[in-house]
Structure 1
Amino acid sequence: MNSPFQRLGQTICAHRRTVIASWLAAILIAAWGAQLLPGVSVGGSGPLEGSPSQRMDAVLHAEFDNPFLQPLIVAISSSRHSVDDTVYVAWIDEAATRLRRLPEVRRVASYADNGDSRLRSADGRQTVLIVGLNAASVAGQEHAVPAVRTALRELRTTIRLADPDAQLAVAGHAALTYDMNDYNKHEGDGAEARALPLTFCILVLAFGALVAAGVPLVMGFASTTLALGLAYLLALVMPVSNLLQNVVTMLGLALGIDYSLLLVSRFREALPGKPADEAAAEAVGEAGATIAWSGLTVTAGLLGLLFSPLMETRSIGIGGALVVLVSVLAATTLLPAVLAALGPRIDWPRALASRLRHARSEAAWRIVAARVVRHPYTAMLFAVCVAGTLAYPGAKARGGFNNESWFYPAGMESRVGVEILARMGNANAGLPLYLVVRAQDGQPALSAAHRPALANYAERLGRDPRIGEVLSPVTHPNAAELLLSRDRMAALFQVTAKGELGLLEVQVLARDLEKIAPDGPFTVQAGGPPVYYNDFDDLMRASFPAVFGFVVGATLLLLSIAFRSFLLPLKAAATNLLAVAAGYGAVVAVFQLGFLHQLVGLERPLAAIPLTVPLMIFCLSFGLSMDYEVFLLSRIRRDFEATGDNAGATASGLAASGPIITGAALIMAAVFGAFVGAEIVLLKMIGLGLCVTVLVDATLIRTLLVPAMMVIAGRWNWYPGIRQPAKASG
């Protein structure tokens, strides 16, 4: 009796022209949406709903009339002139004049206005203009960035004519987000260009035929294009991170090629002596269930991101699940139709196929499988030791944000601005800490009764060796209009950490200052970027148990249903966690500890690994690793059901599936590894982590550890599902 998937294959092949035409139409429409996706996706992590930093932002915008709370910073540097030179003063005046004409700009502060020494460097070579914007929303502030840069374009040319080494850059949080969005739009295309040549070479070696190698690439493109089009529709109904485009490209290529590799292999095995339609339907019957179960496990891993508190990762979870669905659908509908249409032409050119046939022999895999079966404990110990060594650096990880300039692409304008600020000794100017002090006795903040306590509070803050500057209505009465609430009941203290402090140290400072209040009837509410980063880290860490628990639990349930076994899902989860740990350990070793960091294009090691990185690596790779588990165990179970010999089934299953798993792993590694060449460090981290995880999984885990554990567990592998094997073991 035909399986449901074989009946599906027969139906698809019988209507292959309609199926292919329908897919082509869908791809063409989706390509239009994919082109529009960058324009509707958003940057950053989004608001942290209900967090202290979000409540503080609401207070600042509702109660204070201060356009400089989230300003743009125009940084100028010259090696030939000082800010007191006539020509430099003219640059500053022209910049301020041009900016004040813009409808997006509300107010501009410069050194030329009042000689404020905080706006210049000690040697006079650098200066900044603080640009207050009319927009209060993050999106509105980002839209102001290109207008500000356009207004200063001619002045930048003028400055460089006078001093070829001079720099003018627009920085600030909004500028940084705008630049990262712009870079993200192009990273996926660059990764594709780097991955495809190597991927095609791997496929040619795996199949020994140009047409057979080209079909999976076409499926990868089809899956990616359709998924990007669906992501555009998703972005119309909910906020979608600009990282989603890169994740969809990454997963669409990897899974589209991965599933096609399995089905094309089955088709070529079934083709001799059969009509193409029958061989394609048989291939779907054999591989369809495996692909479907694999898709479910990958989807479970991605849906775990829904438990994250961030818009960024939640949208990636939903969009990633879409690309998995599309990849499964393409492999079980479009691909059989294409194979049925190609028939024996899948092996063109036959001369090449015959030359490369020896490279695809299972003989080498039979030797490996035999050794693992004879020495399971040795194989298991070796695999665990090597993977554990790779995972060990993960124990030294420091999670958090980075404010080092080399975390951003070298040519990015906002990074240039950050570097100018660092030369001024104001590296943390973009990380102000806001403290709103409110009296509880009903009197105005600056009443005579309150002034001594607030002055003492400002003095206490200034004595902290970590603080570079305290700006308050008590210490800077000329700025009182900006630092007092509209009802005069609250005072704003703006604290800037010293430039030599790293971001992690600034975050510690923020936590410390939240606990300090003026003497008397006062409360303090803290906000600003350092508080946001603390809230981000706290919420992310709090979400980890739910994310990890859901992914592991859902995977255990799916594998229990698929293989009707108690032990196999537990072993699969344990070995997958080991592979993920190895991938994350490699990221920490390279990006934080600095081991071979130059090879991935990192200028210097970083202080911390963003907490989104382990979350993304886990959710993306846990399901992908399960991909190979399903491939391997499906083949082993089929042989065990036929022979009843657990050790023999393990050896034959590994020998048969080893070439496919290896080819698929190399292709995934090529796709993920291409993102290591990205300019954005976050994508480098995720690409390296996924690449190492996949390679460890395909080599150490699926080739050595899982088969060794299968041999050691014996018949308990299949309890309670298979109790009466076809033949007695032995």
Structure 2
Amino acid sequence: MATTVHHARSGTRGPENEAGPLLRLLLRRRGLVLVVALLLMILAGVAGRGAGDKLTSGAYLDPSAESQRAAEALTQDFPGGPANLVLIADAVTGTVDSPQAVERGRELTAQLSETPGVGGLQSYWETPDPSLRADDRRSALIAVQLTGGEHAAQETAARIIDDIEQDSGALEVGATGPAAVGLAVDEQAESDLISAEMVTLPITLLVLLLVFGSAIAAGLPLLVGAGAVVGTLAVLGLLAELTTMSTYALNLTTALGFGLAVDYSLFLVTRFREERRAGRSVEDAVVIAVRTAGRTVVFSAVTVALSLSALLLFPMPFLRSLGFAGIAVTALAVLTAVVLVPAMLAQVGHRLDRADLFAPIRRRITRRRARLGDDRLTWHRIAALVMRRPVPVLVSVSAVLILLMLPFAGVRFGLLDHRTLPAEHRVAETAERLVSDFPAAAEDPITVVLPGRDATPVAELDEYAARLSTLPGVTSVDSVAGRYVEGQTTETTGEQANDLNARYTSAAGTWVAVTPSAADPADARSVVRDIREQPAPGPVLVGGSAATLVDATDTIADRLPWALGVIALSTFVLLFLFTGSLLIPVKAIVTNLLSLSATFGALVYVFQDGHLRWLVGDFTPTGTLETTLPVLVFCIAFGLSMDYEVFLLSRITEAHRTGATTAEAVAQGLQRTGGLITAAAAILVTVFLALAASNLTALKVIGVGLTLAVVLDATIVRGLLVPAIMRLAGEANWWAPAPLRRLHKRLGLTD
């Protein structure tokens, strides 16, 4: 069987002679490089200081989807359409029908109707509809329809909420609805980011000191992370001028940028120290670190960026914006790492290991290791165990991952709503009150828009609405002609007819509201599909939460195979170029899919089913997972998994090229990188726990998912599963057909 063993090169050239011209220039002008980098960081910080104000919440949906076109038509053309801002006004004293409350209610109604950005409203004090008043008469509703896009509606909602909080008078007013929820999510995300950084920063600094071994070395990833994050903020500000960017991009940029900075800096510093212990000079150690570890870092960054690029295939601005942000921060992290870390290492040189606060502890550990011998080191013992018993290890680890995966079979997808906020948040509390005190107003109908009223004769509309009311799962249908229940219509008075005409028609056409019997959009999706299959008197646009969920899941289902194909193909090609093997890339893809499936199973168990809230922090279970979050977690986690895969494979292939057998190479690679990967993962987990500690359920899902994925990957997958598979495959790990071996050799991606 052919293999791709490469033997060590002969020759007497020193590392300094093999350094490229750019690296030699960087080392000679390291002081200038550091000064220029600092100036660029300051400029990027100034350019990106207002980036957060340009980001928007939501944007989870494809703007070209039918449900979103229906929502846009209702917002722009039908003042009586569904409200996106709902105000619950409580009488301070008495009831909402008291003279003081009536006066203030009418003033508030008039004020709102004149507010720019308000397209229409329904107020209890304007049209005394009983459904707009609570049974105890202590509270009433004002339902406001805000025009413009999602961001514009939130800006209008912010002005309205500020005004009513400053001047409530005889009424105390609380706000909810999509615009208020989106605004609250933005504010909560910003607040959580600040509080999480204050809590996790000292913990992260302590872990950095433990891992990097000195205050000077621990400062390197801070410098690299700062450069990556501030540079990405500047990029986000620019992108926000061109396209919709999610507010979560800010949180992701901070976490991912710093995490990758730690990974890349740690790998370079570790190789530099290894070469210094071998007797190399500072300059030679830097050159070797860049040629070996630096190459691995660049390769790793490319795999992370390609995994994140799969997010760009989805039309949802939320996923696309996080893809842009992730690619930008990855590129800047690797750029700053391969430029700043070598310059700093050359600058500090012999002083790198000074100011080690934990030096006494390390000396005791070193003496103990010297007594026990290298064969007793932890990762070497693990490697020896796996080499002796690969089949039991493979079976047991796979069984654990499959067990964790099982809950994912029962996943139910849904949409984010007010329950992503803390239960005690005022917007969330107001939303719950809307459901309990105003059940009719809280109904979430399926909206059917028929553009072009003149093209829709009344008789045809009547027949269409009556037919929709007979569909399975439909409670009633409301239209300009009245309410339909099981094919029969209710009679309306002249005044009611005028109200219906104002609500359901405009110069742009008409619309009908279909009330499903299932309150949960996830349970009403079949009704949406039935409506879309019905013959209609002209073109129709079906919208509402249930239709939005149908469109979101269908879009993801359509694009997911392409995204998985991009990730799998790019991973396969890159790992082939990195190792010259066909089996290793396949093994990497399969093991990553297995570990990520286990992660998704755990997310379903925790967030969909509501278990372990005592462990991950309190949240409101909804019985579903938001449609886009698993896609986001998958792309990020897959990239990070490949990050560690490349680190491990770099040392395994290096040992194998110098003549070691596969078993020896795997043992050496695990011994040299096991502690490194564990340390990098520990710091990355600390960063992601800041997201997991968020009060927003969506950020908590991302943080917990990424934390679990990193822990699984850095422990049982890299430490047990991968070595077991490679031990069983033996020399077949390195097999490739002769033409591909020649191609790999010609491309020159290995030393």
Please give the TM-score of this superposition, normalised by the length of structure 1. 0.89
Aligned equivalents of 1:618, 1:36: Cα separation in 2: 30
1:118 aligns with 2:131: yes
Give, in angstroms, the shift of residue 346 of structure 1: 1.5
Map 1:112-511 → 2, pairs under 5 A? 112-133=125-146, 135-156=147-168, 159=171, 168-272=173-277, 273-350=279-356, 352-357=358-363, 359=365, 363-403=377-417, 405-426=418-439, 429=442, 431-437=444-450, 445-446=457-458, 449=459, 453=463, 456=466, 460=469, 467=475, 470=478, 472-475=480-483, 476-483=496-503, 485-487=505-507, 490-497=509-516, 501-511=519-529
Provide the C-alpha distance between the structure 2 equivalents of 1:176 and 1:630, rounded to a whole number of angstroms.
42
Gaps of 5+ in 2: 1-12, 484-495, 743-751
Task: Tell me, yes or no, if structure 1 residue 717 matches structure 2 residue 745.
Answer: no
CA distance in 2, matches of 1:382, 1:183: 42
Give the superposition deviation at 1:695.
0.6
Q: Is the 8 A contact 2:272 2:289 kept in 1?
A: yes
The answer to whether structure 1 residue 573 and structure 2 residue 578 are counterparts is no
Structure 1 residue identity aligned to 2:312:
L
Aligned length, in residue pairs: 704
Q: Is the 8 A contact 1:6 1:281 kept in 2?
A: no
- The code of the aligned residue for 2:721 comes to L
Asked if 1 retains the 8 angstrom alpha-carbon contact of 2:310 and 2:564, the reply is: yes
Q: After the TM superposition, which residues 582-661 of structure 1 pair with which residues of structure 2 at under 5 Å, given as runs?
A: 582-661=598-677
SS at match of 2:482: coil
* Structure 1 Cα separation of the partners of residues 584 and 440 of structure 2: 53
Q: State the Cα deviation string for residues 455-495 of structure 1 (Å, max 9, x = none).
A: 7458x36x97754773534354122443454458x432224
Look up the match of 1:84: 97
> What SS does the corresponding residue of 2:48 show, helix, strand or coil?
helix
- C-alpha change, 1:71 and 1:445, in structure 2 (3 Å) is farther
Equivalent runs, 1:90-105 vs 2, <5 Å: 90-105=103-118
Distance in 1 separating the partners of 2:201 and 2:710: 18
Give the root-mean-square deviation of aligned CA atoms.
2.9
Give the TM-score normalised by the residue count of structure 2: 0.87
Structure 2 vs 1, CA of residues 453 and 479 (structure 1 numbering), >3 Å: closer, same or farther? same
Aligned 8 A contact 1:438 1:445 in 2: no
Q: Distance in 1 between matches of 2:696 and 2:440?
A: 21
**Separation in 1, partners of 2:118, 2:381:** 72
Confirm or deny: 8 A CA contact 1:126 1:420 kept in the other structure: no
Task: Tell me, in whole angstroms, the C-alpha distance in 2 between the residues paired with 1:400 and 1:649.
Answer: 47
Question: What is the CA deviation profile of residues 590-632 of structure 1, one whole-angstrom value per residue up to 9, with x for unaligned ones?
Answer: 1012220232223342221112111111110111101111111
Task: Tell me the distance in 2 between the aligned counterparts of 1:702 and 1:97.
Answer: 65
For 2:108 and 2:687, the matched residues in 1 are separated by 45
1:222 is matched by which residue type in structure 2? Answer: G
Q: Structure 2: which amino acid aligns with 1:130?
A: A
1:26 correspondence with 2:40? yes
CA contact (8 A) 1:568 1:717 kept: yes
Q: Name the SS of the counterpart of 1:492 in structure 2.
A: strand
Q: Secondary structure at the match of 1:356?
A: helix
2:35 & 2:460 partners in 1: Cα distance? 77
Cα distance in 2 for residues equivalent to 1:44 and 1:327: 27
**1:684 counterpart (700, 708, 712):** 700
SS of 1:115 mapped into structure 2: coil
Q: In the TM superposition, what is the alpha-carbon distance from 1:193 to its structure 2 partner? A: 2.9
What is the DSSP-based 3-state SS (H/G/I as helix, E as strand, rest coil) of the residue aligned with 2:542? strand
Q: Is the 8 A contact 1:76 1:420 kept in 2?
A: no
Q: Is the 8 A contact 1:625 1:694 kept in 2?
A: yes
1:436 partner letter: V
Structure 1: segments with no counterpart, 5+ residues: 160-166, 724-730
Q: 1:40 to 1:709 in 2, by over 3 A?
A: same
Paired residue type of 2:141:
V
Matches of 2:631 and 2:154, distance apart in 1:
27
Structure 1 residues 480 and 714: alpha-carbon distance in aligned structure 2, compared to 1, 3 A threshold: same
Cα deviation, residue 413, structure 1: 4.0
1:540 alignment partner in structure 2 = 556
> Using a 3 Å threshold, how does the CA distance of structure 1 residues 352 and 601 change in structure 2: closer, same or farther?
closer
In 2 relative to 1, CA 529–579 (structure 1 residues): closer, same or farther, beyond 3 Å?
same
Q: In the alignment, is the contact (CA less than 8 A) between 1:647 and 1:711 conserved in 2?
A: yes
1:501 positional shift: 1.6
Give the C-alpha shift of residue 390 in structure 1: 1.9
1:505 CA drift (Å) = 2.5
For 1:128, what is the secondary structure of its paired residue? strand
Q: Could you tell me which amino acid in structure 1 is paired with residue 86 of structure 2?
A: I
Contact 1:597 1:605 in 2 (8 A): no
Q: 1:445 to 1:378 in 2, by over 3 A?
A: same
2:92–2:170 Cα contact (<8 Å) kept: no
Find the aligned partners of 2:527 and 2:328 in 1 and give their Cα distance.
Answer: 42
8 Å contact from structure 2 (residues 221, 265) kept in 1: yes
Q: Is the 8 A contact 1:307 1:547 kept in 2?
A: yes
- Label 1:351 to 1:43 Cα distance change in 2 as closer, same or farther (>3 A): closer
State how far apart, in whole Å, the 1-side matches of 2:462 and 2:297 are. Answer: 72
Question: 1:727 — aligned with what?
Answer: none
* Cα displacement (A) at 1:289: 0.9
Conserved in 2, the CA contact under 8 Å of 1:347 and 1:353? Answer: no
The residue aligned with 2:488 is none
After superposition, the Cα gap between the structure-2 partners of 1:4 and 1:298, relative to the gap in structure 1 and judged at 3 Å, is farther
Query: Hey, what does 1:701 align to over in structure 2?
Result: 717
SS at match of 2:126: helix
- Counterparts in 2 of 1:30 and 1:285: CA distance versus 1, 3 Å: same
**Aligned partners of 1:722, 1:114: CA distance in 2, in Å?**
79
Aligned letter for 2:325? G
Aligned partners of 2:465 and 2:512 also within 8 Å: no
Cα separation, partners in 2 of 1:126 and 1:507, compared to 1, 3 Å: farther
User: Could you tell me how far 1:227 is from its partner in structure 2?
Assistant: 1.8
Single out whichever of 179-188 and 611-620 deviates more from structure 2: 179-188
**Equivalent-residue separation in structure 2 for 1:291 and 1:132 (angstroms):** 51
Report if aligned partners of 2:80, 2:504 keep a CA contact under 8 Å in 1: no
Deviation at 1:552, TM superposition (A): 1.1
- Structure 2 counterpart of 1:666, from 662, 668, 682: 682
Give, as a single letter, the amino acid of the residue that structure 2 aligns with 1:116: D
SS in 1 for 2:136: coil
- Whether the 8 Å CA contact 1:306–1:313 is kept in 2: the answer is yes
Which secondary structure does the structure 2 equivalent of 1:17 belong to? helix
Partner of 1:164: none
Contact residue 43 and residue 242 of structure 1 kept, 8 A: yes
Aligned mates of 1:497, 1:602 — CA distance in 2: 31
CA contact (8 A) 1:400 1:611 kept: yes
Q: Cα gap change, 1:78/1:713 in structure 2, threshold over 3 Å: closer, same or farther?
A: farther
Distance of 2:511 and 2:31 partners within structure 1: 69
Q: Deviations over 1:357-415 (max 9, x none)?
A: 45576612111111111111122122212222222222221122144x43223354432
Structure 1 residues 71 and 670: CA distance shift in structure 2, 3 A: closer
With over 3 angstroms needed to count, the CA separation of the structure-2 counterparts of 1:312 and 1:4, relative to structure 1, is farther
Query: What is the CA distance between 1:215 and its match in structure 2?
Result: 2.2
> Partner of 1:112: helix, strand, or coil?
coil
Q: What secondary structure, in the 3-state scheme, does the structure 2 residue paired with 1:526 have?
A: strand
